[in-house]
Structure 1
Amino acid sequence: MNALNSWHCDCCSVTGISRLEAIGELSASESELQALFEKVRNWGRWGSDDQRGTLNHIGPAEIARAAALVREGRTVSLSRPFPTQPGAENPRPAQHFMMVTGEDRHAPHLPGMEASFDYIGIAFHGLVCTHLDALCHIFRDGLMYNGRPASDVKSRGAVSNSVMAARDGIVGRGVLLDMPRALGVDHIEPDHLVTPDELEAAERKLGVTVAKGDILTVRIGRDVRPGNGDGRIAGLHPHVAGWLHEREVAVLGGDGPNDAMPPNRLSAWPNPIHELCLVGMGMQLLDNLDLERAAKLCAELDRWSFQIVIAPLLIEGGTGSPINPIAIF
């Protein structure tokens, strides 16, 4: 299979021309994005005090349905390793160093105790760490989800819409839409924005339908693209936000940051998916998942849904958290 410059799906047919030429101007205008924001906005839908947003789409029935998907007893991590190596996409590498090693195993504060200790620190928002974006992470015109002011995020952290809204974890049905497999290519090129039509083509190809309360993961094949790590990453078309709203998806994640990178290349807003989902819908996002192993197992089992468990750290006032999501088959 080749990169996405010659492909076919129901929305259009392209041979030998760029995606930008194929579906016209992809840079959605300010007015179009604002209209879409108003369409998907969930402010007040679950009450004026709500801080869970689309997590409200997951109830006991959705959790029980996900538990019934555990049949093979196999688990797969959807997380990347702790990102300590610097690079073009990781200008602020995570810190991990040893405080006490096995070479000097005697704990200094407790005579007779032998142990090792280490320290970690991380600025997790970015293009490398697998993390969850809380609803206080992004603002639009000085506001975040449910009309709360950006000033609610203070020097000590957020007083509303923090990661603590997911303190009991997020458990539900995970769905993986493997876009390269569905479109017959190795990977999605960075100048491509995945459209709702293509997501529906993937549903038909893979035999799965995204439904209310689902935790949707979208693979673009970031990790197998030649040149990976150069900061150019494919993303979702802003119109996908409307599709997610109609399907009542609970959480969105991808093997990239969900928006095309670098910012402002393909849209009037810097990160339209983040702005439409986090601010408008109240939909938490999972950025920088590792979907390669899960995609292989899904293909092996010929099933593209599974139970997923996401447990963010309980960071009071946190704008998100590093995570290690687990897909359970």
Structure 2
Amino acid sequence: MSAEAFRTLYDKVRERTRHGPDDRRGTLNHLTPARVVAAAREVMTGRTVSLAAPVATLPGPDNPDPARHRMTAPGPGDDHSEGLGFALDRFAMNVHGDVDSHLDALCHVMYDGALYNGVPADSVTPQGATELTVDVVRDGVVGRGVLLDIPRLRGVRWLEPGDHVTAGDLAAAEAAQGVRTGPGDILLVRVGHRRRRRESGPWNAAEARAGLHPEAVEFLADRQVALLGSDGNNDTAPSAVEGVDFPVHVLAVQAMGMHLMDYLQFEELAPACEQEGRWSFLCVVAPLRLPEATGSPVNPIAVL
């Protein structure tokens, strides 16, 4: 896609998803209280499934700066054979890496000097973000989740790095799975990244990964999706757009105001949906309360 074609697409999806000059919630405006109530009716068996991968603490080609976990108590030689004692630990991570499951806040993506809805990029300072932080979703996101399984559609174990999910793929997966994405839904797109990593080993996902084609973002706008998640980065690498490395992030987060969830895992959810014979469910997303942060580790839960 040329830079000119991308700009045309950018302007189109931005204009179709405006919620007023003071809006700070973006596409979450599609997820109304009535739609939350309707989503609760998706629960049939009460079966719960985590959509997060275990936090990775070992370095690898896709994880040069792994999360760090350190025990602070008990210390060497501490004796807890009698009385009260506590085990204590400390945890630190790079939120926006290429392995750990996380949610991108609307302040995460800067494009042409601005964040979503024209908020100046300099509202993000070295001390933290002052607008559009992950605190926007401090009350969580609860709605109808829809899983579209693209490897299942194509009859493969996973999409190879560099492959694109198109709007046609999304519509075809809906038809094959007997489900339709609607206003306020939490759309989850499986590309098989986690399965490939588990079976073939980690690789440099910053340079090569499967994801959505930028034109597929029009599908999200048409269906009024509230939140998008994938078991990859949502963006393909290498980028399909001249001069823009993360076009889906630019279109979704900065143009439309759509929070993204990157590097989830659906290897338990997909077979559960197959067993249940349905691909929609109640989905609960609860980021940490980090008032100045650009994102948060996240463990979404599907309730079938």
Task: Tell me if TM exceeds 0.5.
Answer: yes
Of 101, 123, 127, which residue of structure 1 is paired with 2:98? 127
Structural mapping, 1:194-213, within 5 Å: 194-213=165-184
Q: Per the alignment, do residues 304 and 93 of structure 1 end up closer, same or farther by CA in structure 2, a change over 3 Å counting?
A: same
Query: Deviation at 1:47?
Result: 2.4
Cα pair 2:17 2:27 within 8 Å, conserved: no
Of 147, 161, 165, which residue of structure 1 is paired with 2:118? 147
1:7 maps to: none
1:57 maps to: 30
For the residue of structure 1 that corresponds to 2:268, the secondary structure is helix
2:227 maps to: 251
Query: Deviation at 1:44?
Result: 8.5
1:87 maps to: 60
CA RMSD between the two structures: 1.7
Asked if residue 104 in structure 1 is aligned to residue 78 in structure 2, the reply is: yes
2:147 maps to: 176
For the residue of structure 1 that corresponds to 2:29, the secondary structure is helix
Asked if residue 302 in structure 1 is aligned to residue 283 in structure 2, the reply is: no
| TM-superposition CA deviations, 1:254-313 (whole Å, max 9, x none) | 00000013x43x322100100000000000000000111000100111100000100011
Matched length: 296
1:235 maps to: 211
- Structure 2: gaps spanning 5 or more residues: none
The 2-side partners of 1:176 and 1:44 are apart by 23
Of 253, 259, 262, which residue of structure 2 is paired with 1:284? 259
1:67 maps to: 40
| TM-score when normalising by structure 2 | 0.93
Asked if residue 325 in structure 1 is aligned to residue 304 in structure 2, the reply is: no
Amino-acid identity (%): 47
Cα pair 2:17 2:221 within 8 Å, conserved: no
Q: Per the alignment, do residues 128 and 99 of structure 1 end up closer, same or farther by CA in structure 2, a change over 3 Å counting?
A: same
For the residue of structure 2 that corresponds to 1:327, the secondary structure is strand
In structure 1, give the amino acid aligned to 2:227. V
In structure 1, give the amino acid aligned to 2:234. N
The 1-side partners of 2:170 and 2:144 are apart by 17
| TM-score when normalising by structure 1 | 0.87
Asked if residue 136 in structure 1 is aligned to residue 111 in structure 2, the reply is: no
In structure 2, give the amino acid aligned to 1:81. P
Of 235, 241, 255, which residue of structure 2 is paired with 1:267? 241
